Amino acid sequence: MRPRGTVAVVTGASSGIGAATALALHEAGARLVLHGRDTERLAALAGRTGGQVVTGDLADTAAIPALAQDILGRFGEVDILVNNAGVGWAGPFGEMTAADVRRVIDVNLTAPVELTRALLPALRTRPAARVVFVTSIAGRTAVAGESVYSAVKAGLDVFADSLRFELSGTTVKIGVVVPGVVDTEFFARRGRPYERSSPKPVGADRIAAAVLRAIRDDRAEVYVPAWLRLPVVIRGVLPGMYRTLAARFGGSS
């Protein structure tokens, strides 16, 4: 699929991976719908890309049908949906409040599921359409101190795979991009900075390039960096060894 001339919706476009992905899609010729909460940053990005700004908090899942109608009302069609918006929380599970748990679940899992459901009828009318989910290595390997975040990212992975199977033979193709540690504001916002010496964080532009590959080449999944596939394979083939190594060397980030 070539992005040129398509209408692409990017959630979490205010900063980080979302902003980088919007710029990459703009350079590839897509017309953009930029969704996020930071109106000033979105306006600045719209100025660079010519995109249309749609603001809102995806934690308010009841507002998602209206968000979808707003998007379709402005453009009449959608060809690409990049479900990127996410929120983290790091620390002992016992210290999470019910509100913390609800927000992590709603933003990272409920919102992308509901937005995809709301836009899927429009996507299915297009000659070629793509939905890409930005998940996390935390959902593939589990991470100490991020139990709820890891769980919802794992859930998003399985939802994406299931939807890909369900839509097989249609014009709508589903892809997943699985980042490791990314050099963005995410870690500061989750309440605990990234303090490990390795792996080194990668730039958001690398994740954006992976999203573009998933769109262009109908890639079911793309790991960034590619070596992250290795611990996932070890966990699947030798789960006992994986858990021993994770306990020894630490699974927190």
Q: Which residue has the tokens 């930029």?
A: 34
Give the C-alpha separation, 232 to 173, whole Å: 24
Give the C-alpha separation, 124 to 218, whole Å: 16
Greatest distance between any 2 Cα atoms in the chain: 53
Give the C-alpha separation, 157 to 175, whole Å: 10
State yes or no: is 242 an active-site residue.
no
Q: Which residue has the tokens 């954006």?
A: 208
Contact assessment for residue 240 and residue 234, using Cβ atoms and an 8 Å cutoff: no
Q: Classify each residue of 123-147 as buried b or exposed e, where b means 16 or more C-beta atoms within 10 Å of its C-beta.
A: beebeebbbbbbbbbbbbbbbebbb
Give the C-alpha separation, 192 to 92, whole Å: 11
Of 39, 48, 1, 40, the C-alpha closest to 20 is 48
Other CB atoms within a 10 A radius of the CB of residue 175 amount to 23
Catalytic residue among 149, 194, 223, 242: 149
Known catalytic residues?
149
